Structure 1
Amino acid sequence: MARIPTAELSRYLLSGQLTRRGCLHLRRYSITSPIPQSRRSFSTSPTTPPSPEPAVVVPFRKQLKDQAKAAKLSGHASKKKIKKTDNQTVPGWDLTVGIEIHAQLNTPSKLFSPASTPSSGKDVIPPNTCVAPFDLAIPGSQPLFQPTTLIPAIRAALALNCQIQPISRFDRKHYFHWDQPSGYQITQYYHPFARSGSVTLYPRDGIAVEDGGKVEVGIKQVQMEQDTAKTLAQPNSTHYLDFNRVGVPLVEIITEACINRPATAAAFVRKVQILLRSVDACTSGLEQGGLRADVNVSVKKMGTKELGTRTEIKNLSSFKAVEDAIIAERDRQIRVLEAGGKIEGETRGWSLGATETRRLRGKEGEVDYRYMPDPDLGPVVIGEDLVQRLGGTMGALPDEEVEVLIIKYGLSERDAMALMLMEGRLEYFYGVLEELERMLGVEAVEGGEQRHAILVSNWCLHELGKLAEAENVIVGEGAVEEVDVTSQVPEQDLAAILFYLHQKKVTAKAAKDLLWDVFRGTISTGGVTEQIESQDLWYKEISEAEYIVIADEVIKGQEKVLQDFFKFKHGKSKAYPQGKLGFLVGKMMRAGPEQGKGMDPASAERVMRARIEEVYIPRLEGRE
């Protein structure tokens, strides 16, 4: 597509096809003519629409679904197997995926100017207030590399097992778009600061079952580069630009084309987010916008050596979107190839809730970007002493941390991974656990007492999760902004609640009510004990007679359940119906004593078993 030379651009401004109004504080571009197909260039001739894709009578995905449904109805495939086969593999075809991840570095300044970076928190930063002359490409301004941005960048590369290069250089990547005021982006295309890394994925990371026990994803290179402005679309083809984001330091993580399953691709992005967060390199995660993922997808006939033509899907904003977009694009490419068509190298988009990718523009190559060394920036020299210093102060990486949580504290893999993934939750878990252990006078040791650590984990994940669900805010396109509940529930207060619950001095219901009171701020910090005293919430176990009354009420109308116990006693069933006993005990617990009293599950089970064996089975025997 033809580009408009600088001299001709003024004619567009004068003719009214492209008008610019505003000043430094806010630039406003109003597009009064249709926006060309390519976002990176303007054309003097009408944009040629993409050629229509070959039509297929029965969509390929529908064929797969129909086959899976038929297999399920015939009893030859379970629901789980159908899902795995349908989503992760397509018979006769190989999928190849490469991923590019852009992560915003956790730095106080921008990459090439002393301007501060916009906060990643919830405080609203006014547009175009975090800018310096170079960020706006003011004539005469020059880039000044900020050395502090190297620290989180090196930590990120070390977490990805990369080799830090002693000398790296910056290049200009040229393209014209309104979000790039200088007309080029400064990156490290030819000489990045890190190369040849790897990330190992395990089943607990969520890889596809078909990938077996582990997958090693190669990292081709990690490069530093600057971010662009933020475009805010408005009605009537108007776009507002916020230049706060221009020049914010990023690392771009480029993988080898070695991923073959959609679920494994999503697991990789999730693992990278955990790794970057564990070394404090990234400001926030995928859903919060601090990390963005692009995926390159290609398919080929099984057994073919040469890779197929790849397409790129840009700016995926969730782990589910990564997997769903790859599946949709894989199936689209298979449909085209099976119909005799040809895959075009292009950039495609994905929307939340979509079932198909959409074409954005033709794929641009190296020649279009006209990479060249930046003449205003010298080489970046990284000393080995700095690399060793940062490597020695990173602490345990996620895989080591997960092993500690599982082996020492007795957590399940699922809960351990959840603590790792949720921002700030692992540190909060350790803080509550330390306080609770101080109160109990115990410590979780490998193979020893772990019950209190599991209790802390359950509440940090599940009970605090319920608070978050109640307070979450729905933002654009159905996305959910999570409230930081840990900031509203002090560690010492949660530890106090769990101390009394662990010691059976309050009921689970009372403990949950106390948690809500702390969350709402109706209990002052450190006032959990006073609240229990004032509300008389201390646990008082009901009497034996009250247990019996509740048990008898629960057993009413459960003749079918009682028959299982009768059959076991008379040898008609070999296994004791423990599940049915648990069902009845659960109904007892839910029957609920009055406020201030409680039931012990062990006592409830003892009473229920005794009533069945001593009262209700003899009654059944008397009927025969």
Structure 2
Amino acid sequence: MDYEVVIGLEVHVQLKTRTKIFCSSPAAFGADPNTYIDPLTLGLPGALPVFNRQVAEFAIMMGLATNCEIREFNRFARKHYFYPDLPKGYQISQYEEPICERGHIEVLCDNSTRSIGITRIHMEEDAGKSMHDPTAHCSLVDLNRAGVPLLEIVSEPDIRSPSQAAAYLRTIRQIVRWLDISDGNMEEGSLRCDANISLRPLGQMEFGTRTEIKNLNSFKFVEKALEYEVARQLAILKSGGEVVQETLLFDSDAGVTKPMRGKEESADYRYFPDPDLPPLVIKESWIEEIRRNMPVLPQKRYRELIEGYGLSEYDAGVLTADREIVEYFDRVFKTCENAKAAANWITSELFGRLNKASLEISDSP
């Protein structure tokens, strides 16, 4: 029997705001542990959240870039779970009424384009970070990250291979960097994802039992973890066994997934509307103002370079990998008025010199 792979990704994007989502502490990376904290971050009694308006602006930008419907009336909810790096005992998130829903993006993979649906984009706060020291036989908690604003981008289960999953994640990263709402740095944790995966007999509409792989923080690990999990589930099903619904971690050194805990459902989190935050009402005039000020998106620039400038798909892909690159191309083209020559010089001569000097395109005059 042949099986079809079904994958959905939940991508968490840390936003480039100056302060956290519900308090005035800095939302920055790299400080000494527990320096960017305050009564709300610590979950102290009486501390009340105050919403950071820029988070909603960035969420609307991402919703527009992914063809989502922007919900006029949305609200925050409390997501309850007990973990050391969550002092309040709950995370402020969105559940039934997210800010963006029902969107899609076009993803280029294996020389073909596939439309991947976006179920929802919602705003939430990040948790702190637990650090485990086996030599000292203790665990430490750094709450600098607690309260940093996140967008969670939940895809439809439209992804059909590990390579498509990695391509989808690259596209999300390209968009958030293009909009300048996140640096998309996966090493620092500002872009990470959870992957839900199941297998079903080819032609069957009903989904199989899914597992969730948590906290994947590189394109390579996303692809490798999913490849292993496809093989593992396939072996179980072909031997007559049943896949257990559970949450997994990916051991990158061993190249295997390992059980973390039983897979939770939404009921386990006991969601209810946050009584300390009023509903958020998004006016159409604000959406249109944001739309007018948004840059031309990478997918449109990609087509322009091919159809309007006569560049190859490869050159267009390289130039639109980052907004600073294509803007640099525009400046070079104005000087030489030869698109192919400008593209060749940037992708070979300039990139070669920048790499040799360990510099970025932004460092080039």
Range class of TM-score, shorter chain: over 0.9
- The one-letter code sitting in structure 2 at the alignment partner of 1:258 is D
**Cα-to-partner distance string for 1:314-341 (whole Å, 9 max, x where unaligned):** 1111112212211110110111111221
Q: Do the aligned partners of residues 351 and 415 (structure 1) sit closer, same or farther apart at CA in structure 2, a change above 3 Å counting? A: farther
2:229 to 329, 333, 343: 329
2:15 to 87, 97, 105: 105
Q: What does residue 148 of structure 1 align with?
A: 54
Q: CA deviation at 1:490?
A: 3.5
Q: CA deviation at 1:390?
A: 0.8
Q: 5 Å matches for 1:302-313?
A: 302-313=202-213
Query: Is 2:84 the partner of 1:175?
Result: no
Question: Is the CA contact (8 Å cut-off) linking 1:325 and 1:350 kept in structure 2?
Answer: yes
1:345 to 245, 254, 258: 245
Q: CA deviation at 1:461?
A: 3.0
Query: Is 2:353 the partner of 1:463?
Result: yes
C-alpha distance in structure 2 between counterparts of 1:181 and 1:198, whole Å: 35
- The one-letter code sitting in structure 2 at the alignment partner of 1:281 is I
C-alpha distance in structure 1 between counterparts of 2:62 and 2:309, whole Å: 28
2:267 to 341, 349, 367: 367
SS of equivalent residue, structure 2 residue 267: helix
Question: Is the CA contact (8 Å cut-off) linking 1:292 and 1:316 kept in structure 2?
Answer: yes
C-alpha distance in structure 2 between counterparts of 1:423 and 1:443, whole Å: 20
SS of equivalent residue, structure 2 residue 320: helix
Q: Do the aligned partners of residues 262 and 360 (structure 1) sit closer, same or farther apart at CA in structure 2, a change above 3 Å counting? A: same
Q: CA deviation at 1:283?
A: 2.9
- The one-letter code sitting in structure 1 at the alignment partner of 2:299 is D
C-alpha distance in structure 2 between counterparts of 1:189 and 1:152, whole Å: 18
SS of equivalent residue, structure 1 residue 200: strand
Q: CA deviation at 1:443?
A: 2.4
1:227 to 123, 126, 134: 126
TM-score w.r.t. length of structure 2: 0.93
Question: Is the CA contact (8 Å cut-off) linking 1:104 and 1:249 kept in structure 2?
Answer: yes
SS of equivalent residue, structure 1 residue 297: strand
C-alpha distance in structure 2 between counterparts of 1:242 and 1:277, whole Å: 26
Question: Is the CA contact (8 Å cut-off) linking 2:178 and 2:323 kept in structure 1?
Answer: no
Q: CA deviation at 1:427?
A: 4.0
Q: What does residue 72 of structure 2 align with?
A: 166
Q: CA deviation at 1:287?
A: 3.9
C-alpha distance in structure 1 between counterparts of 2:286 and 2:206, whole Å: 42
Query: Is 2:337 the partner of 1:443?
Result: yes
- The one-letter code sitting in structure 1 at the alignment partner of 2:101 is R
Question: Is the CA contact (8 Å cut-off) linking 1:169 and 1:380 kept in structure 2?
Answer: yes
- The one-letter code sitting in structure 2 at the alignment partner of 1:251 is L
Percent identity reads 38
Q: 5 Å matches for 1:250-399?
A: 250-399=150-299
Question: Is the CA contact (8 Å cut-off) linking 1:109 and 1:149 kept in structure 2?
Answer: no
SS of equivalent residue, structure 1 residue 125: coil
Unaligned runs of 5+ in 1: 1-90, 469-483, 492-624
- The one-letter code sitting in structure 1 at the alignment partner of 2:9 is I
**Cα-to-partner distance string for 1:175-225 (whole Å, 9 max, x where unaligned):** 110110101001001110111000112xxx3x146xxx4211111111000
Q: Do the aligned partners of residues 429 and 241 (structure 1) sit closer, same or farther apart at CA in structure 2, a change above 3 Å counting? A: farther
Q: Do the aligned partners of residues 427 and 284 (structure 1) sit closer, same or farther apart at CA in structure 2, a change above 3 Å counting? A: farther
Moved >6 Å (runs of 4+): none
Q: Do the aligned partners of residues 148 and 352 (structure 1) sit closer, same or farther apart at CA in structure 2, a change above 3 Å counting? A: same
Q: Do the aligned partners of residues 390 and 460 (structure 1) sit closer, same or farther apart at CA in structure 2, a change above 3 Å counting? A: farther
SS of equivalent residue, structure 1 residue 141: coil
Q: Do the aligned partners of residues 282 and 158 (structure 1) sit closer, same or farther apart at CA in structure 2, a change above 3 Å counting? A: same
Q: CA deviation at 1:456?
A: 2.5
Question: Is the CA contact (8 Å cut-off) linking 1:429 and 1:457 kept in structure 2?
Answer: no
Q: What does residue 577 of structure 1 align with?
A: none
Q: CA deviation at 1:414?
A: 2.7
Query: Is 2:25 the partner of 1:115?
Result: yes
C-alpha distance in structure 2 between counterparts of 1:409 and 1:289, whole Å: 37
C-alpha distance in structure 2 between counterparts of 1:237 and 1:253, whole Å: 36
Matched residues, number? 364
Unaligned runs of 5+ in 2: none
C-alpha distance in structure 1 between counterparts of 2:57 and 2:249, whole Å: 33
SS of equivalent residue, structure 1 residue 269: helix
Q: 5 Å matches for 1:493-532?
A: none
Q: CA deviation at 1:349?
A: 1.0
Q: CA deviation at 1:288?
A: 4.0
TM-score w.r.t. length of structure 1: 0.56
Q: Do the aligned partners of residues 130 and 426 (structure 1) sit closer, same or farther apart at CA in structure 2, a change above 3 Å counting? A: farther
**Cα-to-partner distance string for 1:383-411 (whole Å, 9 max, x where unaligned):** 10110111121121111112233345554
C-alpha distance in structure 2 between counterparts of 1:353 and 1:404, whole Å: 42
Q: What does residue 405 of structure 1 align with?
A: 305
Question: Is the CA contact (8 Å cut-off) linking 2:177 and 2:322 kept in structure 1?
Answer: no
Q: Do the aligned partners of residues 424 and 354 (structure 1) sit closer, same or farther apart at CA in structure 2, a change above 3 Å counting? A: farther
- The one-letter code sitting in structure 2 at the alignment partner of 1:388 is E
C-alpha distance in structure 2 between counterparts of 1:460 and 1:287, whole Å: 26
C-alpha distance in structure 2 between counterparts of 1:287 and 1:416, whole Å: 27
Query: Is 2:137 the partner of 1:237?
Result: yes
C-alpha distance in structure 2 between counterparts of 1:370 and 1:191, whole Å: 15
Structure with greater strand percent: 2
C-alpha distance in structure 1 between counterparts of 2:236 and 2:283, whole Å: 51
**Cα-to-partner distance string for 1:574-601 (whole Å, 9 max, x where unaligned):** xxxxxxxxxxxxxxxxxxxxxxxxxxxx
Question: Is the CA contact (8 Å cut-off) linking 2:55 and 2:123 kept in structure 1?
Answer: no
Larger Rg: 1
Q: CA deviation at 1:421?
A: 3.0
Q: Do the aligned partners of residues 453 and 301 (structure 1) sit closer, same or farther apart at CA in structure 2, a change above 3 Å counting? A: closer
Q: What does residue 6 of structure 1 align with?
A: none
SS of equivalent residue, structure 2 residue 144: helix
C-alpha distance in structure 1 between counterparts of 2:263 and 2:25, whole Å: 33
Q: Do the aligned partners of residues 296 and 276 (structure 1) sit closer, same or farther apart at CA in structure 2, a change above 3 Å counting? A: same
C-alpha distance in structure 1 between counterparts of 2:9 and 2:317, whole Å: 22
- The one-letter code sitting in structure 2 at the alignment partner of 1:224 is M
Question: Is the CA contact (8 Å cut-off) linking 1:313 and 1:350 kept in structure 2?
Answer: yes
Q: Do the aligned partners of residues 429 and 300 (structure 1) sit closer, same or farther apart at CA in structure 2, a change above 3 Å counting? A: same
C-alpha distance in structure 1 between counterparts of 2:205 and 2:38, whole Å: 50
SS of equivalent residue, structure 2 residue 294: coil
RMSD, aligned α-carbons: 2.1
Q: 5 Å matches for 1:406-425?
A: 406-409=306-309, 411-422=311-322, 424-425=324-325
